[in-house]
Structure 1
């Protein structure tokens, strides 16, 4: 059953442009990408058709979304997208669907962080810090707060609505994400203004953080 998200429909081409710009100098190599919280599957099948040099692993926490992703894979016949897997970003990276350390060139999370608890955001950066190759990218997209300030008014209203739905949700603060990234060997390299007051944050993996096991 294919689910359709109008927001995904609107954002897929602008996001594709960001991916093309960020990855253009690697277009001659074979890359591996992970999408966290793939949702309907619209984005990943769209990207796959335009960026054939990337093999994508879609993932989602809900079975309904994974069904929708499978339906999009059947409908579009894209060859470079693997079957969707269950992945809960709150869990340690060792539980991320069997992905090994330094196995990903790019990880994307589209409209995920505002619908997530802080522990999910922490997990996204911890996991990305381990699963990305050095110089790999984590790209997050959505509405954000900047230094505790949310603009314009409709983003403020969105934040309020999200918090009413779940007190742990809400627009994440870019400064907090920057610190989370830094703690996990990632650096915020670019902040790109997108349509409807959304932003694309491009983090680059600069070093491997040692995990201490007792």
Structure 2
């Protein structure tokens, strides 16, 4: 049987961006409550392990479309000292949340680097389903490259977007103004935009009370 450490997949980009994202989470996650966090598209598990270790009173539910990544997520979770990470579950974001085997009382949802590498239907599915699983006034945090009002900066992000769309025209960097319209149709509003390193942004969304 492979050792736990050998099952871990390490993405250098995830190592680089986990701390800047965590610094944003600190501004919006309440360390003093016993709450629940759902991570959509957990990837290797590097993020959920790092975040969970800093919020010991929150229970983290990782999820991933690619089940081949489950062993890596489990390996990171096993080495997380706070032991507050549940086993990963498979979630297809376009499927109705009732098929996900989760509750609808999450305090927070995290989604990192999914929107631009997935068809636009996944972005719609994210807002539609997260509006159902979040508590009223619950927080959704998304991270990645974004355009705003039709402007995508710098040139490296424009090149990145062109490469993504060349591989799959359904994918590409999303415009924040388009996301606002979709989110508002599902009772979610944009609260904050944080500029983070490597030309990425962290967007803070909140589910309305009604």
Give the TM-score category using the shorter length. over 0.9
Query: Which of these residues, 22, 28, 32, is aligned with residue 28 of structure 2?
Result: 22
SS at match of 2:174: coil
Q: Do the aligned residues in 2 keep the contact of 1:45 with 1:78 (CA within 8 Å)?
A: no
Aligned residue in 2 for 1:139: 141
Query: Which of these residues, 11, 15, 23, is aligned with residue 5 of structure 1?
Result: 11
SS at match of 1:46: helix
SS at match of 1:140: strand
Deviations 1:110-149 (A, max 9, x none): 0111111111000000011111001100100000111222
Task: Verify: 1:100 aligned to 2:103, yes or no.
Answer: yes
Deviations 1:139-176 (A, max 9, x none): 00000111222110000011011112221111011011
Q: Which runs of 5+ in 2 are unaligned?
A: 1-6
SS at match of 2:161: helix
Q: Which runs of 5+ in 1 are unaligned?
A: 209-214
Distance 1:144 1:49 in 2: 28
Q: Do the aligned residues in 1 keep the contact of 2:97 with 2:133 (CA within 8 Å)?
A: yes
Pairwise CA RMSD: 1.1
Q: Do the aligned residues in 1 keep the contact of 2:36 with 2:108 (CA within 8 Å)?
A: yes
Distance 2:12 2:82 in 1: 21
SS at match of 2:108: strand
Query: Which of these residues, 122, 125, 147, is aligned with residue 123 of structure 1?
Result: 125
Q: Do the aligned residues in 2 keep the contact of 1:186 with 1:207 (CA within 8 Å)?
A: no
Q: Do the aligned residues in 2 keep the contact of 1:33 with 1:55 (CA within 8 Å)?
A: yes
Deviation at 1:100? 2.5
Distance 2:117 2:132 in 1: 23
TM-score of the superposition, structure 1-length normalised?
0.92
Q: How many residues align?
A: 204
Deviation at 1:77? 4.6
Query: Which of these residues, 77, 81, 87, is aligned with residue 73 of structure 1?
Result: 77
Deviations 1:63-107 (A, max 9, x none): 121121012122335410000000011111212x22233x10000
Distance 1:71 1:33 in 2: 19
Task: Verify: 1:47 aligned to 2:47, yes or no.
Answer: no
Distance 1:100 1:179 in 2: 26
